[in-house]
Amino acid sequence: MRKLLCVLCTLSVLVPAAAELEAASDEAVQRNNLGASLLQQAKVGEAIAEFQKAVALDPKYTAAYLNLGYAYDRQGRIEEATAQYQKVVALEPDNLLAHNNLGVLYDKKGLYAEAIREFERVLQVDPSNATARDNLERAKNSKGIAQEREERFAQARKEVEARPDDPRAAYNLGRLHASFSEKEQALKWLAKALKLGFDDVKFLKDDPALAPLKDDPRFTGLLEGR
């Protein structure tokens, strides 16, 4: 069974030297470079504080926004990371690093169409960008898996609605939830299937789609006395 989400490439982080950023104020550059150094030491919280100071000193300092976005992502603060990259593309519409990293974050959130758009934007400008190409392929794959998942659930729910007293229909919906490790819904529908008269206990015990449930005591409880 394929997983719903595919892991994309690690976000890139820009750590520029002060000499490359003549447009930024000296103090903003110093704050950014200190933050980059702290980030390399895995002192993410301290790095964020420095990047925040850098962009406060120079609100158009895109390198600091890029680093701040990367640091937020390291802490799992996806919405805040997304906002930083959006600021970069507002200031620099052709900033490929920001577009790539936005694509990665959109993919993490399941916004596959938006992710694909960002990666395609990178490749329009830089067709040889291997990272964006790999990310685009994975995002398209994730989108396809998500669409397949929705189609399968729609069909299973349709069968349950058409045959509400059919234990097999309830079982099929339960095993589908289990195959995506959605334990609560899986157990709910399996319990209903048993209540409706599902009696193929051997199949239930051996069904590979139910593997994510096998160590759950609630699943064991469903089988007691059967």
Q: Which residues does 202 contact at the CB level (< 8 Å), separation at least 6?
A: none
**Ranked by mean pLDDT, which of 2-16, 23-37, 42-56 comes out on top?**
42-56
For residue range 123-177, what is the model confidence (pLDDT) as tens digits? 999 999 999 999 999 999 888 888 888 899 999 999 999 999 999 999 999 999 9
Q: What is the rounded CA–CA span in Å between residue 182 and residue 187?
A: 9
Mean pLDDT of 102-125: 93
Q: What is the rounded CA–CA span in Å between residue 101 and residue 97?
A: 6
Mean pLDDT of 184-211: 91
Average pLDDT of the chain is 86
At 202 the pLDDT is 87
Q: What is the rounded CA–CA span in Å between residue 83 and residue 68?
A: 10
CATH numbers and ranges of domains, the chain: 18-141 (1.25.40.10), 163-223 (no CATH)
